[in-house]
Amino acid sequence: MKTQLIPVIHMTTLEQVIQNVETCIKCGIEKVFIINHVVSANEVLTTAKEIKNRYTNLWVGVNLLGVPTANAICLPGKMIDGLWCDGTITPEEVIYRRFEGMLFGGLAFKYQRQPSDLEEACKNATLTTDVATTSGPETGKAASIDKIKTIRQYLGTHPMAIASGVSVDNVESYKHLVDYLLVASSITDKNEIIIEEKLKDLKSKL
């Protein structure tokens, strides 16, 4: 399994996103996610489309914080390459999916209701997501290796991602277990600017 690194850009301005995207491209990154913490979901969507227009070979995804999962998966067609939802996508919701890009859906994800039956949750994730996406207990906190191994076993060959706490100190423990590593905290400064050397160092471990 070849694990792919996906930097997560916490958008503050269009210019900041462009700066980070150019750093990512310089480092040989093929995919990025853009997420809203201090701007609106609409601003993130508009920015993502602008980035895609400027950098046509770059895979561009979004995480629309504050938008209910059931609404997010109804984004029309393939207006962007990827959509990441923290919330668990239920079988009842997924039948209304209109989004045609890659769908990353939460599985035992931080700050969400945790599944009472992890095996059953993994089974549902294989039906409702393109990439089942889990995390550690909170932002910047690594997921336990036991949790990752258990989820990997339950998912079988279904694609899987980790979206918190990945760093140069633990990446080698994860890289043969998951398909994607979504990374922000360990590679960015306090102004949400990606530090090129940290990104290069992390990528070199894969």
The boundaries of the domain holding residue 122 are: 4-204
- Helix orientation angle between 118-128 and 145-155, rounded to the nearest 10 degrees: 60
C-alpha distances in Å from residue 84, one per residue of 117, 135, 150, 153: 22, 13, 22, 22
The pLDDT score that the predictor gives to residue 37 is: 87
Q: Are 48 and 18 in contact (CB under 8 A)?
A: no
* Amino acid letter, 86: D
Cα gap 103→40, rounded to integer Å: 20
Positions of the chain with pLDDT under 50: none
Query: Where residue 72 sits, what CATH number does that domain have?
Result: 3.20.20.70
Give me the number of domains the chain comprises: 1
Identify whether the C-beta of residue 123 lies closer than 8 Å to the C-beta of residue 95. Answer: no
